[in-house]
Structure 1
């Protein structure tokens, strides 16, 4: 029969460790910001390309900013096509 070579710690030490573990805090996540004023969001626009306005149908987070359903965003045409394809923006 196999034996376990490790020894158990006394109960007092375990309680002290569990209290210490609870008092430690996890590093804070970066705070999300509110949606900024209308500006081009997402990937940058290529040269000589006009932004396209899209209306979101689902909640979406872009670059750490939250956008609720119904938000109108200026995005690059390629990004608008991807948002529509994934169901985040209305099909126009």
Structure 2
């Protein structure tokens, strides 16, 4: 008859190991939308910011913006947001 020579771990130690393997790192805290300021890529020299109204939730640099939020962005970034469908059509 064959015997198993490995030792069994106590139940408490096995539970700790499985709990340690399952834990995920905490998510970074989201900040609320700040006062109107230019967000996204920096403006070029002599370029005026454009105001856009978001049609969907969007996160820029870790800040969550809800639908309907008005943002000041560079004209190039406004164009890219429009192409991706994040800006309302006016």
Q: TM-score, normalised by structure 2?
A: 0.80
Q: 1:50 aligned to 2:38?
A: no
Q: What CA distance in whole angstroms lies between the structure 2 residues aligned with 1:90 and 1:63?
A: 21
Q: What CA distance in whole angstroms lies between the structure 2 residues aligned with 1:54 and 1:32?
A: 22
Equivalences for residues 35-46 of structure 1 within 5 A: 35-46=33-44
Aligned to 2:18: 21
SS in 1 for 2:42: coil
**Alpha-carbon RMSD:** 2.4
Q: What CA distance in whole angstroms lies between the structure 1 residues aligned with 2:7 and 2:49?
A: 66
Unaligned 5+ runs, structure 1:
1-6
* Deviates most, 11-20 or 26-35: 11-20
Unaligned 5+ runs, structure 2:
none
| Number of corresponding residues | 86
CA positional deviation for 1:58: 0.3
Q: What CA distance in whole angstroms lies between the structure 1 residues aligned with 2:71 and 2:20?
A: 43
Q: What CA distance in whole angstroms lies between the structure 1 residues aligned with 2:42 and 2:69?
A: 19
Aligned to 1:66: 64
Q: What CA distance in whole angstroms lies between the structure 2 residues aligned with 1:44 and 1:68?
A: 22
SS in 1 for 2:72: strand
Q: TM-score, normalised by structure 1?
A: 0.78
CA positional deviation for 1:16: 1.8
Aligned to 1:90: 88
